[in-house]
Amino acid sequence: MTIKKFPEDGKDGAPRNPVADGGGPPYDGEMEARIAKLAEFFVEAGTELRAIDVRLGKIEMRLDVTATRADIQESANATIKWVVATAALLGVAAITVMTFVLNNAIPKASAAAPAPVVIAVPVQPGAQAAPTALPAK
């Protein structure tokens, strides 16, 4: 694509006017009609641009309120994290309660009484033995 330079001053030093240069090409009798059509087009284009600008403003307002994909992913991750943590906490609490209930629900068997210790004292010869029965009255 080549870039054309805007015509500058003419050869004689007078400024060039490519629209009105004496009636010859590129200026002809239909030039005024074409300029009028262009003016109409620019008015219509301006109206369309204003309508587009209004719609763009509405879209921008919606985008400010609408959650982005990153926001949605972040909230999903946070929800999953809290659900897993709550499930783990409930599991630990359930195991703790079951352990406490099982340890205290069944009474513990008391330990069997130990057999009494009998100390036998040897009898000395000549000593009187203790009566085994009480005398009758």
Q: Is 3 a domain residue?
A: no
Distance CA 49, CA 43 (A): 10
Q: Which of 121, 96, 89 is nearest to 129 (CA)?
A: 121
Distance CA 43, CA 37 (A): 10
Say which residue, 31 or 21, is predicted with more confidence.
31
- The parent domain of residue 98 ranges over 69-104
Residues 96 and 76 in one domain: yes
Residues 76 and 57 in one domain: no
pLDDT digits (tens, 9 = 90+) for 5-19: 655 555 555 555 555
Percent share of the chain, pLDDT over 90: 38
- Non-local (6+) Cβ contacts of 27 within 8 A are 18, 19, 20, 21
pLDDT digits (tens, 9 = 90+) for 87-97: 999 999 999 99
Instruction: Name residue, tokens 């036998």.
Output: 120
- Non-local (6+) Cβ contacts of 7 within 8 A are 16, 18
Q: Is 21 a domain residue?
A: no
Q: Is 88 a domain residue?
A: yes
pLDDT digits (tens, 9 = 90+) for 23-70: 555 666 677 888 889 999 999 999 999 999 999 999 998 888 787 888
Q: Is 89 a domain residue?
A: yes
Please state the domain count of the chain: 2
Q: Is 62 a domain residue?
A: yes
Residues 93 and 62 in one domain: no
* pTM greater than 0.85 (yes/no): no
Q: Tell me the residue type at 3.
A: I
pLDDT at res. 33: 84
